[in-house]
Amino acid sequence: MGEVSSVERELVERAAEACRLDQVIAWAEVNSGSNNLPGLATMAGLLGDALSVLPGDVRLVDPAPVTAMDGSGREIALQRGQHLHLVVRPEAPRQLLLTGHMDTVYGTDHPFQSVHLLDDGTVNGPGVADMKGGIAVMIAALSALERHPEANTTGYEVVINSDEEVGSASSAALLAAAARGKRAALTYEPSALPDGTLAGARPGSGNFSFRIRGRAAHAGRNPEQGRNAIIAAAELALALEALRRDGLTVNVAKIDGGSPNNVVPDLAILRVNLRPRDPPLERFAAGEIARLVVAVAAAREVEIHAHGGFGRPPKPLDAAAERLFAMVEQAAGDLGQRIGRKASGGVCDGNNIAACGVPVVDTMGVRGGAIHSEEEYLIPQSLGERAALSALVLARLASEAE
């Protein structure tokens, strides 16, 4: 170890010992896909039990209402699971936020449902890296923090939501409220690379569905009386694609709708994702989307209704974020862990937290890889490594001068 005090050394060793692979495997064997409400309830119970080693009361928070546009253009309500929320010492002068998510991308009908120990020493399983391993790291580090001599001067909130993999729409308000007044935040997504590299700046992300209603007509007898919704959707898609530029990506993902070949189609649903690098580009994209909807609707004499928005704000790194990253990188170095940083094209709850003005490092979880696939894996020794790193960072935040 490098410049680590005896108190810090005791905490990091305690955290490393407390982070157990068998616990992660047991959690990963529970299917908690974002739409599996019974599985999420089971997972919430297990995580609530694990969080009970910390002071404060763990409570379940009902999800906020969420809607989506279905394939027929109707706006429908989506069912989401409850979220876990823990508040510890809210009166303390220093306040921190730690977050994670219990949901995975693997539904109940997905073939990837069990955990396997691989010959190379890694563990393959649904959610082992993203992020049930990360939650184990978080809880182990917080348990160690409670033994810090200055623990009573530091309070924290923990949010473990059930909908991160589908955009956190039902937990966004909970995250924003928990972020209020916090000095720093740590989120337990897996490292950006298997070597432990942290994700730095992130773009924002907006998901949009456009319902285009035209007018049906016979394709042979009176096509001129029709208003082709598919053509309008295609025109809007090309116009949105033309917004692409440095720092703004546009992915035209899907068009639903259409009709038999002898009918002018009167309905289409266009789905698009945009990722702006910074807030000015987000504002530009939002303004252009509104303008293009009006322009295409007028030109094609159709009705266009937009659903969705920029649910993940851009996360550029400001001075406060740079200081927090420097603290994490220094702590890693003091523990003999070589750790780097790189910008990421992905998004997570760290985007939402940073938008509240709170510095956040959002890849404090385990080392692993191939997330969101049947090859997802965890490097077991990273459980202890990352728990030790988090414990040291938390200890130093707890000792930091006001």
* 236-276 pLDDT tens trace: 999 999 999 999 999 999 999 999 999 999 999 999 999 99
The residues, any chain, with a CB within 8 Å of residue 135's CB and separated by 6 or more, are 27, 47, 50, 100, 102, 160, 188
Taking alpha carbons only, the member of 331, 289, 283, 291 closest to residue 307 is 289
Does 2 have pLDDT greater than 80? no
The CA distance from 314 to 311, in Å, is: 10
CA distance 197 to 203: 18
Record the tokens describing residue 304, joined without a space: 């266009």
Domains 6-202+315-399 and 205-312 share a fold: no
What residues form DSSP beta bridges with 338? Answer: none
CATH classification number, 6-202+315-399, choose in 1.10.10.10, 3.40.30.10, 3.40.630.10, 3.40.605.10: 3.40.630.10
∠ CA 11-132-135 to the nearest 5 degrees? 35
In the prediction, which pLDDT does 400 show? 86
Query: 396: closest CA among 115, 112, 222, 144?
Result: 144
Instruction: Please determine, for residue 337, whether its predicted confidence score (pLDDT) is greater than 70.
Output: yes
CA dist., res. 99 & res. 86, Å (int):
10
The fold for domain 205-312 equals: Alpha-Beta Plaits (3.30.70)
- Is the pLDDT confidence value at 78 over 80? yes
CA 248 → CA 160, 280, 309, 396, distances in Å? 30, 11, 15, 37
What is the b/e burial string over 80-90, where b = at least 16 CB atoms within 10 angstroms of the residue's CB? Answer: bbbbbbbbbbe
pLDDT of the residue at 350: 98
HSE toward the beta carbon, residue 389, CA cutoff 13 A: 31
pLDDT value of residue 401: 60
Could you give phi then psi for residue 59, rounded to 5 degrees? -130, 155
pLDDT value for 215: 98
pLDDT at 328 > cutoff 70? yes
Cβ proximity of 195 and 337 under 8 Å: no
In the DSSP assignment, the letter for residue 153 is G
The token pair at 136 is: 């184990």
Average pLDDT taken over every residue of the chain: 97
pLDDT tier, 1 (very low <50, low <70, confident <90, very high otherwise)? low
Q: For residue 275, how many other CB atoms are within 10 A of its CB?
A: 23
Q: d(Cα 247, Cα 293) in Å, to the nearest integer?
A: 22
Q: Exposed, middle or buried: residue 74 (CB in 10 Å: 0-12, 13-18, 19+)? A: exposed
- Per-residue model confidence (pLDDT) at position 48: 98
pTM for this model (two decimals): 0.96
71 exposure class (CB count in 10 Å sphere: 0-12, 13-18, 19+): exposed
**pLDDT mean over 284-308:** 98
Residue ranges per domain, the chain?
A: 6-202+315-399, 205-312
Q: What is the pLDDT of residue 402?
A: 61
Question: What are the φ/ψ torsions at residue 375 (nearest 5 degrees)?
Answer: -100, 5
Residues of the chain with pLDDT > 90, as a percent, come to 98
Residue 129, pLDDT score: 98
CA distance linking residue 210 with residue 303, whole number of Å: 10
Task: Quote the CA–CA distance of 196 and 366 in Å, as a whole number.
Answer: 8
Q: Which residue has the tokens 């070949």?
A: 261
pLDDT confidence band for 343 (50 / 70 / 90)? very high
Yes or no: say if 147 and 10 are a contact pair by the CB < 8 Å rule.
Answer: yes
pLDDT at residue 319, rounded to an integer: 98
Looking at the chain, the whole-number percentage of residues with pLDDT higher than 70 is 99
**Span 186-208, mean pLDDT?**
98
User: What is the structure's pLDDT at 25?
Assistant: 98
**β 94-101/154-161 pair status:** parallel
pLDDT in tens, 12-70: 999 999 999 999 999 999 999 999 999 999 999 999 999 999 999 899 999 999 999 99
